[in-house]
Structure 1
């Protein structure tokens, strides 16, 4: 008999997207499935949609509760679930029909604690971006010595100024006891970085991890969701991540190898928000408004001076920077800089011009047009200073 898999869907005001999400869960080719819908105090028709589906499907359970946030909703769903394996699914996302069947084949055959598949970012305008992770497909024995997973768990092995593995809890399947042992450590009040904390704790407590390359999971990118996440951030969120992960890390046999990488991850997070939200840095920071460009778009950054370095720092975790160009510099902040003419061989959505001077922007624009770059792909906006008065000293990367 196949092991039971529980799909847990936390829901808050998702009536516009919820049916597609639930339909994708119902439509799985794997037969032994239960679906847990956790209505976290929705004020729209999400709760009614949940009840409608549970009335038609005996394998769907519904929880209606007061709004307490994503972490609390996941915990409540986990409490009433019966599955031997758990699949988290966000209410505005969807999964491909063979996801669970094909991932479970490997998980049961190789006694996997946690598996993660590839992911597609889906945009409202129809654009798609497959998130290529740095970890190749295959099984990783976490009981072995310092390996590629540990070297890239918190930060990239070859660039510690950038965060490492993709930390989406959705797109994963967990052995039940492993997730229960990890989820209890994550505080309900953690609302920005909750996936990071849970991913770290689970990986540190697992023995065998399997990475699937195929993007079975489709994640909808909504601008309003991103804006809300930014507004919810405060520095305590980073400290809550540290307080969640640190006790587990302190007991880990690889602590001596990976503790400094975790510390660097925390510094990266603090630096990111210090520059963008607080305007704190030891040097002048610049930004430009490219809010109309979808998150995770493939961008080329043109200009590696003070402005370009600020933009790289701000954009690196929001967009896929496929190349950084400058005619004079060959490296900046530890990153290789290419000559401008290599743009002819690149695949990208937009090229961002990095300068605070209008005449320089004009020169850069003319050079790109002369190389045959489409004007529609060139983003030409004068950068503005975002921290006239520096208020703290941080390690700018």
Structure 2
């Protein structure tokens, strides 16, 4: 039986959650699937668990490789996938039993390149649902251009676009291959954002299954960032540069969205500095570096501030006029 859906699961040191993830895929009401487990150089028992499942189930494939992060792992999975559609599941998450069946039916009914559902964020002590601020239903190419291009990269209120969570999407494999849509393997943070924007930009058909919370995203609300990784900032800069290059010849002007995207990255990284395990003086030094980065300065050239709440607008003004000492005094004490 040829699979209709290939489910790609990057695996890295998740022995505690891996069974839950794989079992949720095996327990789907839709049975014409293959599961591709990409062991990305795990050092715990995850490789053993992957091999045990592979030995037990004919529709499970395993790739063992040196650690090269999730972008490369997903690409490796896509390259050997044989299904008509591609689904992505992170190895510490799990999916509802009817997810693949319902999404497949919509994809087939409307002949879509991308079909998307909503998800549930599940923490240790709480959970909540996440839905996107776009209408439900089918979008043809003209509808994608008129309704989704204005938020393809970033919403005006400095929020990520609908396709930011790639694992809520079912992609037609032939569409990905023909559009040369693969993950940028040198981007190790926020790789979903640029991939999702490129995918929607090329899509001719899209269906949004609003309020269908098929995907369960596991997070630990008590976890904190102990280090401030400048490699993440470097990835942010690469993403924004790649966006400029990719969309430079588009008839639609994405320049404002790209600036807002850089603004989002700036705000995000300033928050990481706040949570980093650093002395106050080090935090202030890093804050100064971000405020005075040339890429940040470029945001505000011929740029009207987004219509956001008073507190956020104040922060944006501090960044715009590079008043880092006030920002540090208020947020890093």
TM over 0.5: yes
What SS class does the counterpart of residue 263 from structure 1 fall into? helix
Residue 206 of structure 2 corresponds to residue 209 of structure 1? yes
Q: CA deviation at 1:276?
A: 4.7
Residue 260 of structure 2 corresponds to residue 264 of structure 1? yes
Distance in 2, Cα, partners of 1:44 & 1:240: 31
Distance in 1, Cα, partners of 2:201 & 2:106: 21
What pairs up with 1:302-341 in 2 under 5 angstroms? 309-310=314-315
- Could you tell me whether the CA contact under 8 Å between 2:163 and 2:169 is conserved in 1? no
User: 1:239 is matched with which residue: 228, 237, 240?
Assistant: 237
Deviation string 1:158-211 (CA, Å, 9 cap, x unpaired) is: x3x444435111111000022335675532121111000110111111111111
Please say which structure displays the higher CA radius of gyration: 1
Change (3 A) 1:164 1:35: closer
Q: CA deviation at 1:109?
A: 1.3
Residue 326 of structure 2 corresponds to residue 385 of structure 1? no
Deviation string 1:370-396 (CA, Å, 9 cap, x unpaired) is: xxxxxxxxxxxxx963469xxxxxxxx
- Could you tell me whether the CA contact under 8 Å between 2:225 and 2:272 is conserved in 1? no
| TM-score, structure 2 normalization | 0.78
Q: CA deviation at 1:115?
A: 1.3
Structure 1 unmatched runs, 5+: 284-302, 314-355, 357-382, 389-397
Q: CA deviation at 1:246?
A: 3.0
Q: CA deviation at 1:133?
A: 1.2
- Could you tell me whether the CA contact under 8 Å between 1:183 and 1:198 is conserved in 2? no
Change (3 A) 1:108 1:38: same
Q: How many residues were matched structurally?
A: 295
Distance in 1, Cα, partners of 2:44 & 2:315: 40
CA RMSD, 1 decimal: 3.2
Distance in 1, Cα, partners of 2:311 & 2:233: 29
Counterpart position of 1:44:
44
Counterpart position of 1:92:
92
Distance in 2, Cα, partners of 1:123 & 1:140: 33
- Could you tell me whether the CA contact under 8 Å between 2:181 and 2:199 is conserved in 1? no
- Could you tell me whether the CA contact under 8 Å between 2:153 and 2:261 is conserved in 1? yes
What pairs up with 1:1-397 in 2 under 5 angstroms? 4-125=4-125, 127-144=126-143, 146-157=145-156, 159=157, 161-165=158-162, 167-181=164-178, 185-213=182-210, 214-222=212-220, 227=225, 231=229, 233-253=231-251, 255-256=252-253, 258-274=254-270, 276-277=272-273, 278-280=286-288, 309-310=314-315, 385-386=330-331
Distance in 1, Cα, partners of 2:227 & 2:104: 32
Distance in 2, Cα, partners of 1:140 & 1:124: 36
| TM-score, structure 1 normalization | 0.66
Distance in 1, Cα, partners of 2:154 & 2:194: 14
Distance in 2, Cα, partners of 1:89 & 1:72: 15
Change (3 A) 1:3 1:209: farther
Q: Which has the higher contact order (CA 8 A, sep 6+)?
A: 2
Distance in 1, Cα, partners of 2:154 & 2:226: 25
Q: CA deviation at 1:282?
A: 6.4
Structure 2 unmatched runs, 5+: 274-285, 293-308, 319-325
Q: CA deviation at 1:147?
A: 1.9
Change (3 A) 1:275 1:219: closer
